[in-house]
Structure 1
């Protein structure tokens, strides 16, 4: 176990502490509201921008992989929530479908396996599944402020690599489509075509496969590939936020996913995007990465 912890810490990045602004500028949210198919009230929970003091911490360079999760399961005998209930959510023709046997070791359902996917991020992970791995590895999930700070750095940027979206930097829908998708109808049209054609289908990719998309701290896959669980319960940043009423009801009851996944459009893989989800929620696009507390005298902030 000591060797496992040491190896895991070696693959973490030291993030310096600091006072950072969390949340998106109002002008950016106006642009998002105008440019994509969802109402602005769905994104209003990214505001207002507010200062947070973040202590130094460690964060996994990559999302936790199938290989790493397999080590945990072999050592502990743990069974994920998807395994216990006998099905997982896999995106079908029009929406998420309950697929018998779908779980972390069978991502697309019964009969599928992890052949060639050892370095892919583990999926079909509920928050409790992520927390169990973190406890085994003597780590924890990052807070929401830690995650966002690590994604955009000390200065806000909409994507980890910068101001302009680039499909070559991220595993998301536009990468697979090789063009910008206009709206939800366009997305469904693209998805239907990809599902019916021969060849590689959109899915997870090996962690670190898009180095051009690394964050200022050198963290990979902070946008796309898999949406990542956060330790912090879902809360609005301020009571007066003009958001969708459903988001107000989710406060304190739901968890948070960050970063978006391989099937999301560019707007859902931004550094400030917040998805409120029930803690038991898991799909073929949900995963996580670990954080850890540190002794500041032992940290190297030279990056």
Structure 2
């Protein structure tokens, strides 16, 4: 587990590289789709945190809402917009819909929302270690789920950002935001798009120093900490800004955060 290619982001704690053994588990082949998430909402009446808060984070090129619905621009990441009314049903805000996106990943889903879905479905979120094992597809030490070839070698292998981030996306891979969950080629374990497309929530709390003391068998993350782990990168990853579309790459966010490039997949209890 951990970075083997030297592409690590120091602050993310991708090292030291260390052996981990896991009990048998079964993981979804894809991230949870809008269609599946809608079934959960219809069955339970659940309201996501984005719906409760009244806004969520949308990449500036994906905003469909009027200017009056822009609630803020983070100074450190000015390509994001806080958009009133953006949520899993309306990923770009007013004027957008998932009506034709049933096979795309559900986004604007917080960690807490993902856990609520899992409880309804009789599933759970993967641990970070389970996620990385599954993403690797049995290729030990590889940079990507398919090996070490780059994403665009011999045709696109994942949904990331092309062009000049964050102003111009040439969409060479065919997608400007999310792609259907069964796009490109699955890895050797049958997982579709563990890297790229959308970030995926994991069960663990985040600590950049956790690998220094994590147990060798079935690690479940640190006991404390406010943030939760995200894995896999997204359609906004670009080598000039975010190279986290790799097996070992890690990120984090608070459990009530939602954004247009994050979803989740689940594991059997």
The two structures share one fold, judged by TM-score above 0.5: yes
**Taking structure 1 as the reference length, what is the TM-score of the superposition?**
0.72
Secondary structure of the structure 1 residue equivalent to 2:205: coil
**CA deviation profile, 1:235-266 (whole Å, cap 9, x unmatched):** 223459xxxxxxxxxx7221011011111125
**CA deviation profile, 1:223-243 (whole Å, cap 9, x unmatched):** 111100000111223459xxx
Which residue matches 1:170?
158
- Is the alpha carbon distance of 1:238 and 1:120 closer, same or farther for their aligned partners in structure 2, counting shifts above 3 Å? closer
Secondary structure of the structure 1 residue equivalent to 2:204: coil
Which residue matches 2:184?
210
2:198 and 2:87 mapped to 1: Cα distance? 14
Match of 1:278 among 242, 254, 265: 254
Which residue matches 2:196?
224
1:52 and 1:239 mapped to 2: Cα distance? 13
Which residue matches 2:42?
74
Matched, 1:109 2:85: no
- Is the alpha carbon distance of 1:238 and 1:272 closer, same or farther for their aligned partners in structure 2, counting shifts above 3 Å? closer
Secondary structure of the structure 2 residue equivalent to 1:49: coil
Q: Where does the alignment leave 5 or more consecutive residues of structure 2 unmatched?
A: 62-77, 214-223
**CA deviation profile, 1:93-123 (whole Å, cap 9, x unmatched):** 6421110100000000023111210000000
Matched, 1:97 2:73: no
- Is the alpha carbon distance of 1:157 and 1:98 closer, same or farther for their aligned partners in structure 2, counting shifts above 3 Å? same
2:87 and 2:258 mapped to 1: Cα distance? 9
**CA deviation profile, 1:263-290 (whole Å, cap 9, x unmatched):** 1125221011100211111101010000
Matched, 1:51 2:23: no
> Runs of at least 4 residues of structure 1 off by over 6 A?
none
2:20 and 2:175 mapped to 1: Cα distance? 40
Secondary structure of the structure 2 residue equivalent to 1:229: strand
Matched, 1:254 2:227: yes
Tell me if the contact between 1:126 and 1:279 (Cα under 8 Å) persists in the aligned partners.
yes
Per-residue deviation, 1:188: 2.7
Bigger helix fraction: 1
1:115 and 1:126 mapped to 2: Cα distance? 21
Q: Where does the alignment leave 5 or more consecutive residues of structure 1 unmatched?
A: 1-21, 34-39, 178-185, 195-199, 241-250, 294-303
- Is the alpha carbon distance of 1:201 and 1:108 closer, same or farther for their aligned partners in structure 2, counting shifts above 3 Å? farther
2:24 and 2:190 mapped to 1: Cα distance? 16
Tell me if the contact between 1:125 and 1:282 (Cα under 8 Å) persists in the aligned partners.
yes
Matched, 1:41 2:25: no
Larger Rg over CA atoms: 1
2:211 and 2:183 mapped to 1: Cα distance? 37
1:42 and 1:187 mapped to 2: Cα distance? 21
Tell me if the contact between 1:48 and 1:237 (Cα under 8 Å) persists in the aligned partners.
no
Matched, 1:139 2:123: yes
Matched, 1:233 2:205: yes
Tell me if the contact between 2:159 and 2:175 (Cα under 8 Å) persists in the aligned partners.
no
